[in-house]
Amino acid sequence: MAYLELNNINKTYGKGASATEVLSDINLHIEEGEFVAIVGFSGSGKTTLVNLINGLLKPTSGEVLYKGKKVEGTSHERGVIFQNYSLLPWLTVYQNVAIAVKEAFPKESKKFIDERVKEYVDMVSLTPALNKRPKELSGGMKQRVAVARSLAMDPEMIIMDEPLGALDALTRGNLQDEILNIWNKNKRTALLITNDVDEGIYMADRIIPLRPGPNATLGPEFKINIDRPRDKTALNDNIEFKKTRNNIIEYLMDIGSERTANSDVVYELPDLEPKDLRWDFK
Ligand SMILES: Nc1ncnc2c1ncn2[C@@H]1O[C@H](COP(=O)(O)OP(=O)(O)OP(=O)(O)O)[C@@H](O)[C@H]1O
């Protein structure tokens, strides 16, 4: 039994003539302690997949099992970091994080909650913004609050839906490392949805492409055989990194051009440009 299992998942939106099958025959098994990345094309169904795992959506057919039990709704055992922040606009940064920490640790003291909120807000370098409301923050700052809020709840499984998309390279690199630290230190299981192949290789044990939809399905997995902790600066010269990166990009380009040739829809490719300079920020 895997920690998280998706068995023969199909998800259709709409009914009758307007029905669209977004995900088809998705099978994914993640073991406890693993870090898996799914890299997909824009609009291929990545958020739908996250919402099925989180329990916000029900599959049209198939089942999602978490620790052997069918997922029937949301739970803070599985913490999701969404790409669209979902902060409560009337609460400050402190209050947005505190409300989540209280929910995850209902029996803990006020002091514990206060310290934990401040620790995680500091981790995302937002201590000066503790008393600001979301409307006073930039998109990247809001995204960092969302990261702090999810990680402060100490979920058993960290599920990330393009969580670092709106961030500059330096902040993005720092948060990748914070997420990896928490995953490693607390022996958590992680699923990262990203359109950045380099980010996937830096962070994950395996990368699985999501083929473009409709009827998106998972492609073959690519194992990342690079020792941890990984050194960003050294990665660009790592033969295994270059080989894996080329293999994944080649696969994505092939399926992208295959689908474009067969339809009128223009698919936006994942972030495939070399980002060599990015690693120099550390
Ligand atoms: N509630 C819904 N009802 C109908 N169609 C939907 C619904 N939610 C998503 N879709 C459609 O399903 C497809 C996949 O959407 P989804 O948001 O899962 O993709 P995504 O890969 O996360 O996209 P992006 O990379 O742009 O965030 C899209 O064509 C979208 O229009």
Average pLDDT on 180-194 reads 94
3-class DSSP state for residue 156?
A: coil
Look at the block and give the residue holding tokens 């929910």: 103
- Tell me how far the alpha carbon of residue 8 is from its chain's centroid: 21
How remote is the CA of residue 43 from the centroid of ligand 1, in Å?
6
How remote is the CA of residue 1 from the centroid of ligand 1, in Å?
30
Assess contact for 187 and 33: CB atoms under 8 A. yes
Give 31-75 pLDDT, tens digit per residue.
Answer: 999 999 999 888 889 999 999 999 999 999 999 999 999 999 998
Ramachandran region, residue 86 (left: φ > 0; alpha: ψ -120 to 50; beta: rest): left
Residue ranges making up the domain that contains 110: 85-135+146-154
For the Cβ of 19 lying below 6 angstroms from any atom of ligand 1, the answer is no
Query: pLDDT band at residue 252, thresholds of 50, 70 and 90?
Result: very high
Token pair listed for 2: 């895997």
Determine, yes or no, domain membership for 205.
no
Determine, yes or no, domain membership for 91.
yes
Residue nearest to atom 15 of ligand 1 (CA): 45
Assess contact for 185 and 17: CB atoms under 8 A. no
Determine, yes or no, domain membership for 89.
yes
Token pair listed for 254: 């092939």
Give 80-90 pLDDT, tens digit per residue.
Answer: 888 777 899 99
Determine, yes or no, domain membership for 170.
no
Give 217-247 pLDDT, tens digit per residue.
Answer: 999 999 999 999 999 999 989 999 999 999 9
Query: pLDDT band at residue 262, thresholds of 50, 70 and 90?
Result: low
For residue 193, pLDDT beyond 70: yes
For the Cβ of 194 lying below 6 angstroms from any atom of ligand 1, the answer is no
Report the candidate in 209, 235, 210, 234 with the shortest Cα–Cα distance to residue 222. 209
For residue 22, pLDDT beyond 50: yes
Give 94-110 pLDDT, tens digit per residue.
Answer: 999 999 999 999 999 99
C-alpha Rg value of the chain to the nearest Å: 19
3-class DSSP state for residue 98?
A: helix
Give 96-151 pLDDT, tens digit per residue.
Answer: 999 999 999 999 999 999 999 999 999 999 999 999 999 999 988 999 999 999 99
Determine, yes or no, domain membership for 203.
no
Which H or E element spans position 279?
A: none
Determine, yes or no, domain membership for 169.
no
ipTM surpassing 0.90, yes or no? yes
Number of domains in the chain: 1
Determine, yes or no, domain membership for 213.
no
Residue nearest to atom 28 of ligand 1 (CA): 43
Closest approach atom of ligand 1 to CA 83: 27
Determine, yes or no, domain membership for 126.
yes
